[in-house]
Amino acid sequence: MRSGAAWATGLLLGLAGSPALAFFKPQSGLSGITFNPYEPLCAHGCYRVFSTARLQCYSSADASGYSHHLTTASVPACRAVNWAYMSSVAWCIHTLCPPDVTDLAVERFWEAEITGDASIVPSLSYSATLLNLTEPPTEIFNATLGSLNKTMLAKSITGEMAPLVLYYREQQRESIYGVVILTISVGLPVLLTWLGYLPFMTGLLARVKPWLYGAVFGTYHERPLPWGLGNLPTLGQALFITVIVALNIALTAAAHEIAHPYAPNQWFKNRYQETVNRAFNRTGVLAFAMLPVLLLFSSRNNVLLWMTNWSHSTYLLLHRWVARIFAVHVILHSIFGLCQYVSLGTYAATAANPWWRWGIVATVMTVAIMLQSVLFLRRRSYELFLVIHIVLSVLCLVGCWYHVVIRFSNRMGYETWLYVTFAVWGFDRLVRVGRILKAGVRRATVTDLGAEIVRIDIPGIRWAAAPGHHAYVYFPTLNPLRPWENHPFSIIPTAMLAAPAARAPSDADDAEKTAGKPPTMTTGAGPAGSYRNDGMTLFVRKSAGLTGSLGGQPSVLTLLEGPYPNSPTRAVLESDRLLLVGGGIGLASLLPYLRLHANARLLYSARAADACLVDAVPLLRGLPEAEVRVGARLDLEALLAAEVAAGWARVGVVCCGPAGMCDDVRADVARLGRENPGVALELEVDSFAL
């Protein structure tokens, strides 16, 4: 049956007397794509014929069958030393496997599968077992009686192999469908972005975008729905969510291969049990396939932010929707698993297994995360929410890991999905630490501008005045018990706040008072002149959390993580006319745009209490086109309509401010775009959605 070289290899392994073959590794990759967990199929068939046998187990046994009676062992430990069992399986493999099955493949199977527990290795290798067989068996094993006290023959393995073939095909579909979901979830944003760069797409997108800007219902996007029910997506975001939801539903229900009643299946008694098992497995795999997407969309170092023109706030919104899809898969997986084992009559025994208990941990943590993530609790105390959210997420991932590793001992490839998930999480955390180390430890100057706003000047940070970017700032000494707390802020080059001084040398003294250090600036022909950038400035509204402790602090130890892209800027900066619409603290996000567009107009309003912010930005007084109101609102609808009617071919609108204002501007831009197809409107709303 075997080739000479293969037999010699097996003989040497057997003579070596070492059943633990160091080069035998767990399967890696995805079952059905990179490997077949049931190869060699005949060996698995032989194992399953004798796996139901009742064995007389002792703590030790020699090759001749003589045993020394001690205490009864567990089933895997029993199989590891039971001569009748090992010799029967070995003879079955030797006689019933085709010639193309190598001894090396059988030894791999033997090491990992023969005891039923990969952590318990057999006392003899496959080759050693065959060598110790002095004569061929003659009696056929009776599965009905089930007793196995000597080497026996297997009548047939065909009935045992058929369910394995069927199950393998189902695993192959699960892996393929999981890859499809992962690929489309990550690849569709990239594809849609890159299609937009094709020449013939420019006019089409100009007509389509106004229909995608608006919220699905009313003007609830940045603003939450009544009673804190959450934030609605825009129509464009809703279309992507619909695709992902429909894809998950379709692939959960698609192409289940059920043997009953057309063919016998020795694992299940009826069609119900088999159908529930298929749904049980499918939902588990698809839940794992969504995990990398879930963490990718929430990460700060999301590679899609550099590969697409989708904003960070969009990915955070999609993160919440992907989490809901994941939770549905997890809950269904748990329900189907419960139904399966109750129907099989094995629930009590199954529930005692550690892998089942870890599955319960993962499910409970998933449900807890969903309940803890409701908008009301997020906004009640975001810092506390974030800590609990991370702890529950880690517990969920730990539960997922032990659920599959204990159950399958790395033999089915399910842990591959977790490896990808851990890689996404690890990459994000590693880069975050690298960004903090690169910026270094800084001592920031804190200036109270009023009752609610402070200015923070961080010296020595030389970042370009890139609009659409933000940084996460840590103040570890403000709360030593929680030094990890951080908040995102729009960043402004400190030198930019002294721009009027560069244009009017006579005001140099004022510029020195405004900036932390006297900037050296040289303006060019346009508004985007070059200058020396020797620090970054933040404007922060004090709140009840960490930022509330900033008041009265002349300086504070600061760690800076960034800069990160928040909103794509290419489309709005390529517009003929750029409108910068802001309110309150949102002014900080708009200022960098003024350096990069020669035809920009600022439309800004603030409460009377925020007048100190306007006074702190001398640049506003030198702008040729600016509508600045303090203590009064601008008629933004009329101003936007006038700009659209002015005859510009392409108008860009950037908005940052209170949620209600942002939603109103979004609705106005969408309406004006639909009513004026001859004008291309580009909209970016710079926000940090909780």
**206 and 132 inside one domain:** no
Nearest to 192 by CA among 233, 234, 236, 232: 236
- pLDDT band with cut points at 50, 70 and 90 for residue 462: confident
Residues sharing a CB contact under 8 Å with residue 391, sequence separation 6 or more, in sequence order:
none
Residue 423 lies in a domain: yes
Strand (E) or helix (H) holding 628: strand 626-630
**71 and 36 inside one domain:** yes
Residue 194 lies in a domain: yes
The per-residue pLDDT for 203 is 87
Greater pLDDT, 317 or 543: 317
The per-residue pLDDT for 501 is 45
- pLDDT band with cut points at 50, 70 and 90 for residue 161: confident
Residue 126 lies in a domain: yes
- Window from 65-79, 340-354, 461-475 with minimum mean pLDDT: 65-79
Strands 67-68 and 60-61: antiparallel
Strand (E) or helix (H) holding 650: strand 650-656
- Window from 65-74, 132-141, 438-447 with minimum mean pLDDT: 65-74
Task: Output the average pLDDT for the chain.
Answer: 85
Average pLDDT over residues 189-203: 91
Residue 432 lies in a domain: no
Structure tokens at 210: 């106004």
Average pLDDT over residues 58-81: 56
- For residues 90 and 324, give the distance between their C-alpha atoms in angstroms, rounded to a whole number: 49
**390 and 488 inside one domain:** no
- Window from 112-116, 229-233, 530-534 with minimum mean pLDDT: 530-534
Average pLDDT over residues 675-679: 94
Across the beta sheet with 555-565, what order do the strands follow? 486-490, 469-474, 555-565, 441-448, 453-459, 535-541, 492-493
Residue ending a domain, among 156, 185, 216, is: 156
- For residues 194 and 212, give the distance between their C-alpha atoms in angstroms, rounded to a whole number: 18
For the stretch 435-441, contacts whose Cβ atoms lie closer than 8 Å and that sit 24 or more positions apart, written own/partner, are: 435/560, 435/561, 435/562, 436/474, 436/559, 436/560, 436/561, 439/559, 439/560, 439/561, 439/562, 441/557, 441/558, 441/559
CB distance 558 to 443 below 8 Å: yes
The per-residue pLDDT for 389 is 96
pLDDT for residue 254 is more than 70: yes
- pLDDT band with cut points at 50, 70 and 90 for residue 90: very high
The per-residue pLDDT for 689 is 57
**49 and 108 inside one domain:** yes
Q: What CATH number corresponds to the domain at position 502?
A: 3.40.50.80
Average pLDDT over residues 298-322: 96
pLDDT for residue 237 is more than 80: yes
The per-residue pLDDT for 151 is 93
| Domain limits for position 456 | 437-685
Residue 195 lies in a domain: yes
Strands 600-606 and 577-583: parallel
Residue ending a domain, among 427, 447, 474, is: 427
**482 and 559 inside one domain:** yes
The per-residue pLDDT for 263 is 64
pLDDT for residue 500 is more than 70: no
- For residues 178 and 196, give the distance between their C-alpha atoms in angstroms, rounded to a whole number: 27
**151 and 260 inside one domain:** no
Percent of the chain with pLDDT over 70: 87
- pLDDT band with cut points at 50, 70 and 90 for residue 265: low
CB distance 403 to 366 below 8 Å: no
pLDDT for residue 162 is more than 90: no
The per-residue pLDDT for 262 is 66
Residue 645 lies in a domain: yes
Greater pLDDT, 379 or 438: 438
Alpha helices, H only, 566-686: 570-573, 587-590, 611-615, 636-645, 659-675
The per-residue pLDDT for 264 is 61
**408 and 486 inside one domain:** no
pLDDT for residue 524 is more than 50: no
Average pLDDT over residues 608-615: 90
Q: How many domains, in total, are found in the chain? A: 3
pLDDT for residue 634 is more than 80: yes
The per-residue pLDDT for 463 is 84
pLDDT for residue 15 is more than 50: no
Greater pLDDT, 145 or 438: 438
- pLDDT band with cut points at 50, 70 and 90 for residue 355: very high
Where is mean pLDDT largest: 54-63, 163-172, 491-500, 602-611?
Answer: 602-611
**548 and 422 inside one domain:** no
Structure tokens at 536: 């970054």
**614 and 540 inside one domain:** yes
pLDDT for residue 397 is more than 50: yes
Residue 415 lies in a domain: yes
pLDDT for residue 618 is more than 80: yes
Q: Which residue has the tokens 């057309």?
A: 262
**139 and 246 inside one domain:** no
Residue 690 lies in a domain: no
pLDDT for residue 119 is more than 90: no
Strands 626-630 and 650-656: unpaired
Average pLDDT over residues 659-672: 95
Greater pLDDT, 300 or 595: 300
- Window from 151-160, 385-394, 513-522, 525-534 with minimum mean pLDDT: 513-522
To the nearest 10°, the Cα dihedral for 47, 49, 53, 59? -10
Hey, which residues does 683 pair with through a beta bridge?
653
Greater pLDDT, 59 or 57: 57
- For residues 297 and 293, give the distance between their C-alpha atoms in angstroms, rounded to a whole number: 6
pLDDT for residue 164 is more than 90: no
Greater pLDDT, 519 or 601: 601
- Window from 449-453, 526-530, 680-684 with minimum mean pLDDT: 526-530
Percent of the chain with pLDDT over 90: 60
Average pLDDT over residues 496-525: 45
Residue ending a domain, among 100, 130, 156, is: 156
**588 and 483 inside one domain:** yes
**404 and 475 inside one domain:** no
pLDDT for residue 365 is more than 60: yes
The per-residue pLDDT for 690 is 53
Average pLDDT over residues 325-343: 97
